[in-house]
Amino acid sequence: MIVDIKDLRKTYKGGFEALKGVTLGIKEGEILALLGPNGAGKTTLISTICGITNPSSGSVTVGGHDVVKDYRPARSMIGLVPQEINLEPFNKVIDVVSYSRGLFGKKANPAKIEEILKQLSLWDKKDARVMELSGGMKRRVLIAKALSHEPRVLFLDEPTAGVDVELRKDMWDVVAELKEQGVTIILTTHYIEEAEAIADRVGVINGGELLLVEEKAALMQRLGQKTLQVDLQTPVETVPESLASYDLEVAEDGHALRYHYDTSGESTGITRLLGDISAAGLQLKDLQTDQSSLEDIFVGLVKEGAA
């Protein structure tokens, strides 16, 4: 485990508990996406690992170094791309990026800086002042700063919030390239597609608790669940015998039947079901489908947690 988080808690001065005992191990070289709604504790978690906030209790090690007691070697390994675009507006791009490298105690290396700026398509903007750049470009500068000191672990806090589709794709390419170089990447997002596109594992965080960490494939399967509701002309009391094999549910006081299916499966069974429904002599009034959203999963997970 390159990052090892044990029972991490953070209570802010006003008494707000932003992290309620998070335990998480992050493997070297993986891309972990932390999904969660706003205010879930994603940024607090990252800030605590990176040294911006002090933990109330619990521990974090990065590369085996405690982030509080042994902060120098720990932080040397970490690159952080914050959520907000925080940049010195009057400085040149290349100075801003070189500054970060110096701040992390690394000897100046113009060739490395050039390589990073080129990788992020910033090289032709190197002498531009930060304030002259577009929002997307500024975000790239933030990434360049984080990469300038060659971190082993990179935290990306909502890297694609408010970013256009093209840049988002670019960002994903950069992340994939970094992964190839062996960099461990932790990103937070509230876009499922983002986690789906680039993550190896997905953690779901809400209310300061890590609700689950799963391989992406397993989680996506859960997210692939859909429900088909068949509204009937005349209500039924029970599921007709001939439809017993479908695991249907009677809903709306017998006015509807519900069928759960998986879009990621080879066949959904809908065609056959509808055929069998009419064969059973039931008249259809309407059809509606409903996909379980991330929110549903949260609700489900929170309920599970409470039970």
Partner 1 sequence: MNFTAVWAIYYSEMVRFFRTIAQSFISPVISTSLYFVVFGAAIGSRIDQVEGVSYGAFIVPGLIMLSVMTQALSNASFGIYFPKFIGTVYELLSAPISFFEIVLGFVGAAATKALFIGVVILVTASLFVDVPVTHPWAMVLFLVLTCVSFSLFGFIIGVWAGNFEQLQLIPLLVVTPLVFLGGSFYSISMLPPIWQKITLFNPVVYLISGFRWSFFGTADVPVGLSLLAIFGFTSLCMVIIWWIFKTGWRIRA
Determine, following the binding rule CB under 8 A, whether residue 75 of this chain makes contact with partner 1: yes
Among 3, 22, 60, 78, interactor with partner 1 by CB under 8 A: 78
Among 21, 29, 71, 150, interactor with partner 1 by CB under 8 A: 71
26 or 78: CB nearest partner 1: 78
Pick the piece of the chain touching partner 1 (CB under 8 A) from 49-57, 208-216, 218-226, 292-300. Answer: 49-57
Determine, following the binding rule CB under 8 A, whether residue 139 of this chain makes contact with partner 1: no
Determine, following the binding rule CB under 8 A, whether residue 104 of this chain makes contact with partner 1: yes
C-alpha–C-alpha distance, residues 134 and 128, integer Å:
11
Determine, following the binding rule CB under 8 A, whether residue 84 of this chain makes contact with partner 1: yes
Among 25, 39, 105, 235, interactor with partner 1 by CB under 8 A: 105
103 or 299: CB nearest partner 1: 103
Among 51, 58, 207, 269, interactor with partner 1 by CB under 8 A: 51
Residue ranges in 227-266 that form contacts with partner 1 under rule CB under 8 A: none
Pick the piece of the chain touching partner 1 (CB under 8 A) from 89-97, 189-197, 242-250, 294-302. Answer: 89-97
Q: Give residues in contact with partner 1 (CB under 8 A).
A: 12-13, 47, 50-54, 71-76, 78, 80, 82, 84, 86-91, 95, 99-107, 145
